[in-house]
Amino acid sequence: MNELPVGRRVAQWRVRRNMTQQQFADRLGKSKSWVDKVERGVRRLERMSNLREIAETLRIDLEVLLAEQPQQPDPAAAGVEGLRVALARYHVEGSARPPDLPELRTRVDHAEQTYRHARHSTLLALLPGLLDATRAARPGRAADHLLVDVYGLVALALLKVDQGELAWLAADRGMAAALATNDPWVAAAATVPLAQALRHGGRRQSATEVALVAAHRLTSPRFGGAPAGEPFLLGTLLIQAALAAAAGPGDERGVRELLDQAGAAAGDAGAGGGSFGRAAVEAARVVAESALGEVTAATVGHERLVAGDGWRWLPTEHRAAYLLDVARAYALAGDMLRAGRAVLEAERTARGEVHDRPAVRDLVAAVARSDATPPGLLRLAATLHVT
């Protein structure tokens, strides 16, 4: 029955309950013609109130009526447990034949691309073995840099599935490895996931401070000869500082100044693609304005951003995560129709960003309770088992 259209499921459950179309229509307060059109798929069920009433009349749960497939085991759970075990291994013996560094770099690059495409369950399955292999590599500058990258990926992946404390542990390990290199650029790169982990855990002041300290070190005359990626890294740190500062009461002017500085760094970096650029700054500005309560400014900024050329250059994961932030802003403003549309657009952009993240379920459930929500959102709610 899970493969059937909603109307056909209504018909089958009506027959199971030994009701004629007329009897069913009478109980619903509808016409027999209305029921017939619903069951044949001529009339779509778009209102949550109608769906709930039908489910109650048929004496079934709403998710039975809507779910496309039975609930499956959480594919991310095994990966999280594998990472928990890997992080608890404090003594990783070096192998007589340590991993080949170019091959290891290829594996790390693949994991990074997996993250950018929001394949979070796949990434969580890859990371325990990758972390062990990187830790077993023969010490050296290249291996140390890879280890910092992997710890950062572990932290970001764990944040996606709401494992905040474990993510903080991984980010802290990455920062310790980065500081041991005495390279401020490596330390700055390790600061990005650390700031995100701190912000996720509600430690917004600490997140702001670590990001700003790293950013200031990059601009210090002591560290001349910046690598080619300087504007990207500096701008990303400023964005992290601004988002953390905007997450609570504080200096609104300071938040906007940080974003203006990030915008200047984006200008230095050029308009190319990637996770940092003008579009990334504008996306952060929308999220920050929403957090500051400036819903109108956030809405205008969002519409301008998605209409611009830079939008398509953002990585898939970045666009989908941003759309979920926009959906939360619309929901807080009471615009459930736009909130639902933003969630569905996020799902079309990167399915894993919606289906693999536990925090999204609360958002979907809240939007689904509104009669104004788009019909596709109801099916998503049932598939996620949050109806």
Confidence (pTM): 0.81
Task: Name residues whose C-beta falls within 8 Å of residue 341's C-beta, 6 or more positions apart in sequence.
Answer: 374
3-class state of residue 220 by DSSP: coil
Q: What is the pLDDT of residues 124-183, one digit of tens each?
A: 999 999 999 999 887 888 999 999 999 999 999 999 999 999 999 999 999 999 999 998
Query: Using an 8 Å Cβ cutoff, are 288 and 242 in contact?
Result: yes
The two structure tokens encoding residue 98: 């340590």
Task: Name residues whose C-beta falls within 8 Å of residue 149's C-beta, 6 or more positions apart in sequence.
Answer: 108, 112, 189
pLDDT for 225 beyond 70? no
Backbone dihedral angles phi then psi of residue 374, each to the nearest 5 degrees: -65, 150
Q: pLDDT grade, residue 59 (50/70/90)?
A: confident
Q: pLDDT grade, residue 228 (50/70/90)?
A: very low
pLDDT for 271 beyond 70? no
* Helix pair 21-28, 32-40: axis angle to 10 deg: 110
Q: What is the pLDDT of residues 13-54, one digit of tens each?
A: 888 888 899 999 999 999 999 989 888 888 877 677 788 888
Separation of CA 72 from chain center: 20
* Integer Cα distance of 13 and 62 in angstroms: 12
pLDDT for 222 beyond 60? yes
Give pLDDT, residue 2.
Answer: 46
- The ranges assigned to domains in the chain are 6-66, 75-182, 207-308, 315-387
Give pLDDT, residue 107.
Answer: 95
Angle in degrees, CA 101, 168, 279, rounded to 5: 80
3-class state of residue 124 by DSSP: helix
Give pLDDT, residue 241.
Answer: 96
Topology (CATH) of 6-66: 434 Repressor (Amino-terminal Domain) (1.10.260)
Give pLDDT, residue 387.
Answer: 64
The mean pLDDT of the chain is 87
Shortest CA distance to 148 belongs to which of 194, 114, 106, 204?
194
pLDDT for 210 beyond 90? yes
The two structure tokens encoding residue 15: 């027959």
Query: Using an 8 Å Cβ cutoff, are 286 and 276 in contact?
Result: no
